[in-house]
Amino acid sequence: MPATTDKDHWGWNWNDTKLVTESLFWQTRILSLGRNQHFERRFAPASTVIQAQYLEPAHSAQESLRRLVLAAVDALGVASLHCVSEYFRLPAAPVKTMVHELVHAGELQRCRVESLTEDFYLRPAGDCLPPVTYHPHPFAV
């Protein structure tokens, strides 16, 4: 996005400084400490606000994905690949790979839902809540 000198709608016209600042903010290299009296953000380097041990990822990307996939299935109970990836807005391809790895490892199991053609996934019986019977509302369309 090129810098602009246009002063119309000044809040939306990002200059080079704003672009770099926002990029550092989204990378969590700087943090917002609030706003000043002019409603401008106040920033500080993340290393001066948060202890170094918390700035490093607690888990690898694969372990984080594994935990998110399992959390999504736990929350949904029975889920399609699409539902699992959309639960945390994760990219579909890595989720599909992870789900298949979890099925192979026995942490998830594949199941079928009557009248639907795609595969669904759930936690093995010992790892999930007791089954719930769904009774549709009699007036549901």
Q: What is the pLDDT of residues 26-72, one digit of tens each?
A: 888 899 889 999 898 899 998 888 887 777 777 899 999 999 999 99
Residue 94 phi/psi, 5-degree rounding, is -65, -35
Residue 103 pLDDT more than 70?
yes
pLDDT for 6 equals 59
Average pLDDT over residues 65-94: 95
| Region 100-117 average pLDDT | 94
Give pTM, 2 decimals.
0.59
pLDDT at 22 over 80: yes
Q: Which of these, 18, 51, 44, lies nearest to 29 by C-alpha position? A: 44
Of residues 130, 114, 120, 126, the one with CA closest to residue 73: 120
Q: Label residue 89 by pLDDT band (50, 70, 90).
A: very high
What is the model's pLDDT at position 64? 93
Q: State the Cα–Cα distance between residues 125 and 141, nearest whole angstrom.
A: 32
CB neighbourhood size of 65 (10 A): 19
